């Protein structure tokens, strides 16, 4: 008699749990206010919240018990050409993420069970012509929809519950421009904002604002010569060689209804002007608004402010990193933005420079950047021919396009730096004004060791405003993936060899590690379902930075696939 109810208890409990997960997903809408509040169980936008901390306050997994972390479930998206590079999102117990070729999945966050999937039909012949392709770096969610960009120039909205197509809008003529969208969109205040690829191609790098409900295009901002003022900074009509683009999602300042976005470099990447770059060479002038941080009105796309981090960028150290830490420090509202060069810019909320500091040891494209004004001091501008002293950092950057993490509990910014250089032979090329041959580089080059010795990478724990370093962990090859810190006093680093490391957030002591079986170059998040905390990581290697690893480092990289990937989710055993 007494045993009967117990036998029934398990299936009933399971049924109730399933219902709760399902109903929670149906019950709540993701909107701007909810993303702003950044509920602790969810990860609602690429950078975690509009504050862009890549931080989870969850503390169930913590420095005391992380040794018990194990794999909860795995999802294989398939066709992971050039690895898996996206940042998963989580809302109400459901995990949403994208793979290569803009494949989108909604998974039960506790079990990995597929709720729905959506594989867009793409123009494969176009994709075959592209260079920075076919990876996708993430989705946005809002107003009951999941938004994803495609490499053939579309923005697609899917019903969050069913995965059915809600609308799709063609934003770019990718047949003509070659490029499309690989970056995640940003949802804010009824708008979906997405930026095109473009640093190396003839094009004007548009950033788009689209009505989230209808899919109607509201505005388009040209990062190359998008205003009369900007057009004057491209001598000899060189704006036609283009570049720019805002290929990673920025963030949203709701107090001023402003989108913060970073823009890519001008083309060709390397100029032969020498010191006369204001009047000579491939693209005389500052080349606005390339390699800049810009503030756009979210509803109109109107430019409100900008700071060009690298006027006349002659090194491909652009500003397209989409990370904008929104800090409150001593009553001042600040925005911290890493430039690809390894210099970290600290701004007020109108992009006026407050400080500049550097995360890399090996850097010689400029002598310094003035911390008060942001002015470049002692810049190296090349003429045609071999460059005598190697350029540091390497074209893959002093920092990756992936994100660091700011932990408000420790007050520390956990950010990866990369130490590598390149030999360079500048070649005077003919202006490329139409995307037939695609890239417009302007040099031949080879990866090189830095003056300090071997190539390496490092995780730094620093004050995000002053740059003061508290501790550092070194890696034999630069890690390329994003970093996560949590309320459990932990910092997670998925490295290039394929190992995930967990460190004590206060002192950098390694507390746990686990192999994911292949290199990392994408996102990492934490979320909670029914009171249980999970860590989700994308694994899978390949792409413009990762492809250098096998010839440069050998070892495990020689056999590492560049067409494979998995989403691996951890929880306490």
Please enumerate in sequence order all residues whose Cβ is within 8 A of that of 517, keeping only pairs 6 or more positions apart, or say none: 498, 539, 566
C-beta of 100: minimal distance to other proteins in Å? 8
Non-local CB neighbours of 132 within 8 Å, separated by 6+ positions: 179, 182, 197, 543, 544
Q: Between 154 and 462, name the residue whose CB sits nearer to other proteins.
A: 154
CB of 493 to other proteins, least distance (A): 24
Adjacent-strand bridge partners of 306: 294
Single out the catalytic residue among 316, 381, 460, 516: 316
For 559, other C-beta atoms within 10 Å of its C-beta total 7
Residue 445 lies near other proteins (rule: CB under 8 A): yes
Q: How far apart are CA 472 and CA 500, in angstroms?
A: 17
What mask of x and - would describe binding to other proteins in positions 191 to 230, judged by CB under 8 A? ----------------------------------------
> Could you tell me which stretch among 327-335, 401-409, 431-439, 468-476 binds other proteins (CB under 8 A)?
431-439
> How far is Cα 21 from Cα 15, in angstroms, rounded to an integer?
10
Show the site string, 103-142: x = touches other proteins by CB under 8 A, - = not.
----------------------x--xxxx--x--------
Q: Which of 256, 438, 499, 513 binds other proteins (CB under 8 A)?
A: 438
Query: Which of residues 173, 255, 348, 370 is near other proteins by CB under 8 A?
Result: 173
The residue (of 253 and 381) whose beta carbon lies closer to other proteins is 381
CB atoms within 10 A of CB 510: 11
The binder of other proteins chosen from 213, 433, 556, 572 (CB under 8 A): 433
Tell me the closest approach of the beta carbon of residue 407 to other proteins, in angstroms.
Answer: 35
Q: Are 89 and 158 in contact (CB under 8 A)?
A: no
DSSP at 548? G
Does 84 contact other proteins by CB under 8 A?
no
Q: Are 98 and 88 in contact (CB under 8 A)?
A: no
Among 29, 165, 176, 474, binds other proteins (CB under 8 A): 176
501 vs 562 by CB, closer to other proteins: 562
Q: Is 316 a catalytic residue?
A: yes
447 lies in the site for other proteins, by CB under 8 A: yes
Residue 295 sits at the vertex; the CA angle it makes with 294 and 299, to the nearest 5 degrees, is: 135
Q: Where are the beta strands (DSSP E) in 114-190?
A: 114-118, 140-142, 145-149, 154-159, 165-170, 186-188
The nearest distance, CB 442 to other proteins, in angstroms, is 6
Stretch that binds other proteins, among 249-257, 425-433, 449-457, 474-482 (CB under 8 A): 425-433
Which range, of 57-65, 67-75, 367-375, 427-435, touches other proteins by CB under 8 A?
427-435
What letter does residue 437 receive in the DSSP assignment?
Answer: S
* H or E segment and range at residue 9: helix 3-27
Alpha-carbon span 117 to 95, nearest angstrom: 12
Among 64, 385, 453, 551, binds other proteins (CB under 8 A): 551
Contact 290, 263 (CB under 8 A): yes
- Smallest gap from Cβ 130 to other proteins, in A, equals 6
Q: Report the alpha-carbon distance of residue 503 to residue 487 in Å, rounded.
A: 13
Give the shortest CB-418-to-other proteins separation in angstroms. Answer: 16
Number of residues engaging other proteins in binding (CB under 8 A): 42
Closest approach, Cβ 174 to other proteins, in A, equals: 10
Segment interacting with other proteins, rule: CB under 8 A, options 170-178, 224-232, 254-262, 413-421: 170-178
Tokens linked to 457: 């990478």
Among positions 40, 211, 280, 423, the unique one binding other proteins when judged by CB under 8 A: 423
Reading phi first (left if > 0) and then psi (alpha if -120 to 50, else beta), residue 9 is in alpha
CB of 251 to other proteins, least distance (A): 30
Question: Binder to other proteins among 41, 189, 440, 538 (CB under 8 A)?
Answer: 440
562 contacts other proteins (rule: CB under 8 A): yes
Contact 536, 566 (CB under 8 A): no
Stretch that binds other proteins, among 255-263, 402-410, 459-467, 543-551 (CB under 8 A): 543-551
Closest by CA to 328, choosing from 270, 414, 255, 397, is 255
Report DSSP state, residue 237: G
387 binds other proteins (CB under 8 A): no
Of 15, 373, 563, 573, which lies in the binding site for other proteins, with binding defined by CB under 8 A?
Answer: 563
Least distance in Å: CB of 517 to other proteins?
A: 19
Shortest CB 180 distance to other proteins, Å: 13
Q: Which residues within the stretch 240-269 sit at the binding site for other proteins (CB under 8 A)?
A: 268
Instruction: CB nearer to other proteins: give 16 or 434.
Output: 434
Q: Of 39-47, 142-150, 213-221, 432-440, which part binds other proteins (CB under 8 A)?
A: 432-440
Among 397, 519, 542, 565, binds other proteins (CB under 8 A): 542
Long-range pairs of 495-499 with CB within 8 A, sequence gap ≥ 24: 495/519, 495/520, 496/457, 496/520, 496/521, 496/541, 496/546, 496/549, 496/557, 497/556, 497/557, 498/539, 498/541, 498/556, 498/560
Instruction: Give dist(CA 200, CA 266) in Å, integer.
Output: 7
Q: Are 151 and 181 in contact (CB under 8 A)?
A: yes
Q: Which is nearer to other proteins, 18 or 438 (CB)?
A: 438
Please provide the DSSP assignment of 279-338 as one string.
Answer: TSSSS-S--TTTTEEEEEETTT--EEEEEESSTT-SSS--S-----EEEEETTEEEEEEE
Closest to other proteins by CB, 130 or 335: 130
**Considering the rule CB under 8 A, would residue 430 count as an interface residue with other proteins?**
yes
Task: Work out how close the CB of 562 gets to other proteins at its nearest, in angstroms, rounded to a whole number.
Answer: 6
Using CB under 8 A as the criterion, which residues of the chain lie in contact with other proteins when the complex forms? 81-82, 125, 128-131, 134, 173, 175-176, 178, 268, 395, 423, 425, 427, 429-430, 432-447, 542, 544, 547-548, 551, 562-563
Q: Mind telling me the catalytic residues?
A: 316
């Amino acid at each position: 008699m007494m045993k009967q109810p117990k036998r029934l208890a398990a299936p009933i409990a399971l049924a109730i749990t399933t219902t709760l997960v399902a109903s929670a997903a149906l019950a709540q809408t993701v909107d701007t206010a909810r993303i702003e509040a950044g509920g602790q169980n969810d990860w609602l936008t690429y950078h975690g919240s509009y504050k862009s901390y890549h931080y989870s306050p969850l503390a169930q997994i913590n420095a005391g018990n992380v040794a018990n972390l194990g794999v909860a479930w795995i999802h294989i998206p398939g066709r992971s050409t050039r690895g898996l590079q996206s940042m998963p999102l989580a809302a109400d117990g459901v995990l949403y993420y994208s793979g290569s070729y803009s494949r989108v999945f909604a998974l039960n966050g506790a079990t990995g069970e597929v709720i729905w999937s959506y594989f867009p039909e793409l123009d494969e012949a176009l994709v075959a012509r592209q260079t920075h392709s076919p990876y996708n770096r993430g989705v946005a969610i809002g107003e009951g929809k999941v938004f994803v960009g495609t490499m053939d120039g579309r923005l697609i909205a899917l019903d969050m519950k069913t995965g059915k197509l809600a609308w799709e809008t063609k934003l770019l003529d990718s047949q003509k421009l070659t490029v499309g969208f690989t970056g995640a969109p940003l949802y804010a205040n009824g708008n979906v904002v997405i930026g095109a690829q473009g640093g190396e191609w003839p094009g004007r790098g548009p950033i788009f604002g689209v009505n989230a409900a209808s899919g109607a295009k509201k505005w388009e901002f040209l990062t190359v010569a998008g205003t009369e003022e900007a057009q004057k900074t491209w001598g000899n009509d060189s704006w036609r060689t283009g570049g720019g683009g805002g290929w990673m999602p920025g963030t949203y300042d709701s107090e001023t209804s402003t989108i913060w976005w970073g823009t890519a470099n001008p083309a060709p990447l390397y100029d032969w002007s020498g010191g006369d770059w204001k009047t000579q060479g491939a693209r005389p002038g500052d080349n606005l608004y390339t390699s800049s941080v810009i503030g756009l009105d979210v509803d109109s796309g109107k430019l409100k402010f900008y700071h060009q981090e690298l006027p006349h960028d002659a090194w491909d150290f652009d500003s397209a990193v989409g990370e904008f830490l929104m800090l409150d420090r001593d009553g001042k509202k600040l925005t911290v933005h890493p430039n690809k060069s390894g210099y970290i810019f600290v701004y007020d909320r109108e992009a006026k420079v407050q400080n500049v500091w550097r995360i890399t040891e090996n850097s010689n494209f400029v002598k310094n950047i003035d911390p008060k004004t942001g002015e470049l001091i002692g810049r190296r501008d090349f003429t045609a021919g071999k460059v005598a002293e190697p350029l540091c950092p390497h074209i893959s950057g002093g920092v990756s396009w992936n994100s660091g993490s700011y932990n408000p509990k420790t007050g520390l910014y956990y950010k990866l730096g990369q130490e590598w250089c390149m030999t360079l032979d500048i070649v005077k090329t003919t202006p490329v004004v139409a995307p037939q041959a695609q890239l417009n580089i302007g040099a031949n080059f080879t990866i090189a060791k830095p003056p300090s010795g071997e190539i390496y990478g490092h995780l730094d724990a620093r004050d995000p405003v002053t740059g003061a370093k508290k501790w550092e962990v070194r890696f034999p090859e630069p890690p390329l993936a994003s970093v996560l810190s949590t309320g459990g006093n932990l910092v997670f680093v998925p490295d290039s060899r394929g190992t995930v490391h967990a460190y004590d957030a206060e002192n950098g002591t390694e507390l746990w590690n686990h192999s994911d079986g292949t290199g990392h170059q994408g996102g990492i998040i934490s979320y909670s379902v029914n009171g249980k905390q999970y860590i989700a990581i994308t694994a899978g290697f390949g792409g413009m930075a990762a492809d250098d690893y096998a010839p440069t480092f050998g070892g495990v990289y020689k056999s590492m696939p560049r067409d494979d990937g998995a989403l691996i989710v951890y929880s306490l055993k």
